[in-house]
């Protein structure tokens, strides 16, 4: 497949900068304005493993990071997590609370899910609304032994995906060029290490190349518009077609970048007739932190910029060339391999253990100078088999590389951990073949303010909805709306729709599943209310290979499935049930002016008698055969003219006759607010709040025009359970322990000496177990380490 990566916005019309005398200053100012208005968030998910069987749990830890500094963030309070199948359908969804840069949770893999590859996607509302490219994705595999596997055999004749990437963006006639090549084997989805020959239409050879690593390589040529060029692969397993190079432009700009003795040299060339003696500008930034800003005059169609390599920050930098009109004409990426700022060590008390033996892990975190470091870590200990191999997704590789690049990066850790000429060339090829994902100059030169609806959820969960005219579907602005959460704690919110008919309610720390009731404050109107989907509807960016298993995996599948069934049968009752964090149960109106616990009074069977006999703050009347309730305005010693807000378990009831028809025997207590109360945009002439014994409305049906739905709040935390063998009786217990995940700890914090400890017990399953540790410091230094322990003498 031929793909042309065009120069960034070269063919897109951009406004010419007005400040012709000072285009560099104008660019710098626009860039600074963009920085101030655009927060960059990153989310990394560390899972306990990457391969699961049906019925197992996916345990995960979220690292919520500032995209520029890599420091833990504390802005958004909610992360959205989804499990997406090959058809782009979300099969599992949950919301995770974020606090001080971290969050954790779990998913139970349903037995209804088919075997296959899936994507675990995480993001915040700000990431979803402002930049969908920022969403974090991790491939996971699910194997369902209870259903047909649906394996797909990829034929050996499957071809290759071949892409060409001219350095700087375009091929320009008569100007020397370097062209990066990316070869992907369609059979495996991985890079193909092949060679190629570049031929003209006359079959003259103008260049040759071979892929260096992971299917990426590079060749040089000086193209001409008089020729057409094609590439023929060498070393392919089957005959392949030839592949055309991208289009060649008659005029334009190119750039070439090379590192020499600690210096970076950027050569800009052009064949535009009017460009001689014009000034071109080079701007560079590392994750939106500017560090290169310079102008040079073109002499003989060429300008050379030279600066120390360390002028650019660690990680990926974007360098863009602008012409004298302030338009971007060339661009490429560069990566300074980061120096480790955090070193993690994980040391087990022994290398080999017996079944049901105690394991003690000691962690040591050191900074770049060898001193102790404070590190926030997550730890997983799992069994290696033919299904589950070593962890390939690490926090350093995500922060330094993959989160800022388009497409899938194969073995990203290689580029950070290997050095030398071959590794440097491979890293440069990676920069040439993967486009920048986090930043676009178009957003700087044509700034658009972020919509209000995209604001980060800085207090917690936010429910968003839309109010429309029921007949026409047109937005209904300025409509008062109530949202209530029936329960023992009276939670009621009053909002008003904006000019687009949109409403938003801050629910903050709502955990678990609840019923929500939405209705307009004027029940006789014909409005329609709908909740907006809090999850993104964009497709995932991670390509999933066809699902296939080797014959050797059959044994591992049986073992994992048996282990899951044994653990479920024998240990599910020991698992700690999810416990939501405690929250304030006080009603929204705080302490009422009058409160009546009706069990303390002689019970009446008619609500009229209850209110008339026991509740002096409420006046009961009859008008045209209908009940009318009014509340005494105690501070002013008079009765309110308008009807009070009447609530049943927090749900507004506008029909007084329905209130009077309630059975007093189902009501536990009654609160009365005998003063004017201000709730959001609404002024209330008193409140009468009825509470049932269970907080479940006791069979009462809300108004037919109300929207009643089940809503999933933040995931209630669930604690990982593993048996302990501290006594002889526990050691000799006949209850089997088939754990393949020995331990999962989402939060491990080193102390001031950089140390932390963790202990657990092995299971009855012998084998090799991998200890995986991901961590980050408050200063934004990420690290990853792994260790191996062996269990012998148990079940094979």
What's the pLDDT at 150? Answer: 64
Whether pLDDT at 154 is above 70:
no
Whether pLDDT at 92 is above 50:
yes
pTM: 0.91
Whether pLDDT at 439 is above 90:
no
Token duo for residue 618: 């409420």
Token duo for residue 596: 């009546």
Q: pLDDT tens for residues 490-541?
A: 899 999 999 999 999 999 889 999 999 999 987 677 899 999 999 999 999 8
Average pLDDT, the chain: 90
Q: DSSP for 61-83?
A: EEEEEETTT-PBP-S--EEEEEE
Cα(469)–Cα(527) distance, integer angstroms: 5
What's the pLDDT at 451? Answer: 67
217-244 average pLDDT score: 91
Q: For residue 726, count CB atoms less than 10 angstroms from its CB and return exposed for 0-12, middle for 13-18, buried for 19 or more.
A: exposed
Residues 636-669 as b or e (16 or more Cβ within 10 Å = b): eeeebeebbbbbbbbbbbbebebbbebebebbbb
Whether pLDDT at 30 is above 90:
no
Helix, strand, coil percentages for the chain (3-state, nearest 5): 15, 40, 45
With cut-offs at 50, 70 and 90, classify the pLDDT of residue 131: low
Instruction: Classify residue 587 as left (phi > 0), alpha (psi -120 to 50) or beta.
Output: beta
Cα(278)–Cα(306) distance, integer angstroms: 18
411-416 average pLDDT score: 94
Q: pLDDT tens for residues 276-285?
A: 788 999 999 9
Q: What is the CATH number of domain 41-150+538-571?
A: 2.60.40.1930
CB 259 within 8 A of CB 181: no
Whether pLDDT at 5 is above 60:
no
What's the pLDDT at 13? Answer: 34
Whether pLDDT at 74 is above 90:
yes
Whether pLDDT at 66 is above 70:
yes
CATH 2.170.130 domain locations along the chain: 594-712
Q: pLDDT tens for residues 314-341?
A: 999 999 999 988 888 999 999 999 999 9
CATH 2.60.40.1930 domain locations along the chain: 41-150+538-571, 342-391+719-791
Residues with Cβ within 8 Å of 559's Cβ and at least 6 positions away in sequence, in order, are 385, 740
Q: pLDDT tens for residues 732-764?
A: 999 999 999 999 999 999 999 999 999 999 999
Q: What is the CATH number of domain 594-712?
A: 2.170.130
Of 257, 300, 269, the closest CA to residue 174 belongs to 269
What's the pLDDT at 19? Answer: 38
With cut-offs at 50, 70 and 90, classify the pLDDT of residue 178: very high
Q: pLDDT tens for residues 636-647?
A: 999 999 999 999
Q: DSSP for 134-170?
A: G-EEEEEEEE-TTS-----PPPTT--EEEEEEETTS-
Of 399, 258, 221, 415, the closest CA to residue 337 belongs to 415
What's the pLDDT at 450? Answer: 65
Q: Minimum mean pLDDT among 284-288, 386-390, 621-625: which range?
A: 386-390
Residues in the chain: 796
What's the pLDDT at 10? Answer: 32
CB atoms within 10 A of CB 509: 16
Q: Which residues pair with 331 in a beta bridge?
A: 320
Of 668, 655, 677, the closest CA to residue 695 belongs to 668
Q: What angle do CA 17, 23, 25 make, to 5 degrees?
A: 120
Q: pLDDT tens for residues 196-211?
A: 999 999 999 999 999 9
Q: pLDDT tens for residues 454-502?
A: 789 999 999 999 999 989 999 999 999 999 999 988 899 999 999 999 9
CB 118 within 8 A of CB 151: no
With cut-offs at 50, 70 and 90, classify the pLDDT of residue 3: very low
What's the pLDDT at 134? Answer: 76
Q: What is the CATH number of domain 342-391+719-791?
A: 2.60.40.1930
User: Between the CA of residue 279 and those of 44, 267, 295, 304, 743, what are the distances in Å?
Assistant: 42, 13, 6, 11, 61
User: Between the CA of residue 632 and those of 233, 396, 616, 619, 620, what are the distances in Å?
Assistant: 89, 65, 8, 7, 11
| Greatest CA separation for the chain | 105
């Amino acid at each position: 497949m031929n793909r042309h990566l065009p120069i960034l916005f070269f063919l897109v019309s951009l406004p010419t900068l007005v400040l012709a005398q000072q285009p560099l200053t104008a660019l710098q100012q626009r860039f600074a304005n963009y920085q101030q208005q655009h927060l960059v968030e990153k989310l990394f998910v560390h899972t306990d493993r990457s391969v699961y069987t049906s019925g197992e749990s996916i345990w995960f830890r979220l690292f919520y990071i500032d995209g520029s500094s890599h420091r833990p963030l504390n802005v958004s309070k909610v992360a959205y997590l989804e499990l997406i199948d090959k058809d782009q359908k979300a099969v599992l969804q949950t919301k995770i609370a974020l606090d001080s840069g971290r969050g954790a949770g779990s998913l139970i893999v349903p037995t209804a899910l088919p075997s296959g590859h899936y994507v675990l996607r995480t993001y915040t509302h700000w990431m979803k609304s402002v930049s969908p490219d920022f969403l974090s994705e991790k491939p996971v595999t699910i194997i369902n032994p209870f259903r047909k596997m649906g394996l797909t055999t990829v034929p050996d004749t499957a071809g290759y995906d071949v892409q060409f990437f001219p350095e700087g963006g375009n091929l320009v006639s008569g100007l020397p060029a370097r062209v990066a090549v990316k070869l992907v084997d369609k059979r495996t989805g991985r890079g193909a290490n092949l060679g190629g020959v570049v031929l003209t239409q006359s079959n003259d050879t103008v260049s040759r190349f071979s892929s260096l690593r992971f299917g990426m390589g590079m060749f040089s040529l000086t193209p001409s518009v008089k020729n057409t060029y094609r590439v023929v692969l060498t070393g392919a397993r089957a005959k392949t077609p030839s592949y055309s190079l991208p289009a060649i432009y008659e005029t334009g700009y190119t750039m070439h970048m090379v590192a020499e003795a600690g210096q970076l040299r950027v050569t800009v060339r052009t064949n535009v007739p009017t460009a001689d003696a014009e000034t071109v500008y080079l701007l560079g930034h590392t994750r939106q932190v500017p560090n290169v800003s310079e102008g040079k005059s073109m002499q003989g169609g060429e300008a050379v910029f030279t600066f120390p390599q360390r002028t650019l920050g660690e990680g990926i930098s974007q360098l863009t060339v602008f012409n004298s009109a302030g338009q971007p004409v060339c661009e490429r990426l560069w990566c300074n391999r980061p120096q480790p700022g955090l070193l993690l060590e994980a040391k087990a008390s022994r290398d080999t253990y017996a079944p049901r033996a105690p394991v003690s892990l000691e962690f040591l975190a050191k900074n770049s100078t060898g001193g102790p470091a404070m590190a926030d870590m997550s730890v997983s200990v799992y069994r290696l088999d033919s299904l589950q191999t070593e962890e390939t997704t690490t926090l350093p590789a995500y922060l330094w590389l993959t989160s800022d690049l388009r497409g899938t990066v194969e073995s990203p850790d290689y580029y950070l951990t290997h050095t030398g000429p071959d590794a440097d060339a491979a890293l440069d090829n990676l920069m040439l073949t993967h486009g920048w994902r986090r930043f676009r100059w178009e957003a700087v030169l044509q700034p658009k303010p972020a919509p209000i609806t995209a604001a980060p959820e800085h207090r917690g969960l936010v429910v968003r909805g839309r109010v429309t005219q029921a007949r026409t579907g047109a937005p209904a602005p300025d409509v008062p709306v109530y949202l209530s959460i029936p329960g023992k704690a009276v939670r009621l919110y009053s909002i008003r729709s904006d000019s687009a008919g949109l409403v938003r309610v801050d629910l903050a720390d709502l955990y678990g599943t609840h019923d929500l009731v939405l209705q307009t404050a004027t029940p006789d109107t014909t409005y329609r209310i709908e909740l907006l989907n809090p999850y993104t509807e964009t497709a995932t960016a991670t390509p999933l290979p066809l699902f296939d298993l080797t014959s050797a995996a059959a044994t591992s599948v049986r073992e994992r499935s048996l282990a899951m069934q044994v653990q479920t049968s024998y240990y599910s009752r020991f698992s700690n049930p999810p416990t939501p964090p405690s929250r304030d149960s006080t009603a929204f109106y705080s302490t009422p002016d009058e409160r009546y616990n009706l069990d303390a009074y002689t019970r009446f069977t008619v609500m009229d008698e209850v209110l008339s006999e026991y509740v002096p703050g409420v006046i009961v009347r009859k008008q045209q055969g209908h009940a009318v309730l009014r509340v005494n305005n105690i501070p002013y010693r008079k009765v309110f003219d308008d009807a009070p807000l009447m609530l049943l378990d927090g749900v507004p009831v506008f029909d007084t006759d329905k209130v009077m028809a309630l059975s007093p025997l189902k009501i536990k207590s009654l609160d009365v607010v005998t003063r004017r109360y201000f709730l959001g945009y609404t002024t209330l002439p008193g409140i009468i709040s009825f509470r049932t014994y269970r907080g479940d409305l006791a069979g009462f049906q809300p108004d037919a025009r109300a929207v009643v739905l089940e809503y999933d709040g933040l995931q209630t935390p669930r604690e990982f359970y593993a048996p302990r063998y501290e006594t002889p009786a526990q050691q000799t217990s006949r209850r089997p322990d088939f754990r393949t995940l020995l331990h999962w700890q989402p939060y491990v914090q080193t102390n001031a000496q950089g140390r932390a400890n963790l202990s657990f017990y092995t299971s009855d399953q012998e084998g090799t177990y991998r200890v995986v540790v991901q961590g980050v410091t408050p200063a934004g230094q990420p690290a990853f380490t792994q260790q191996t322990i062996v269990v012998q003498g148990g079940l094979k």
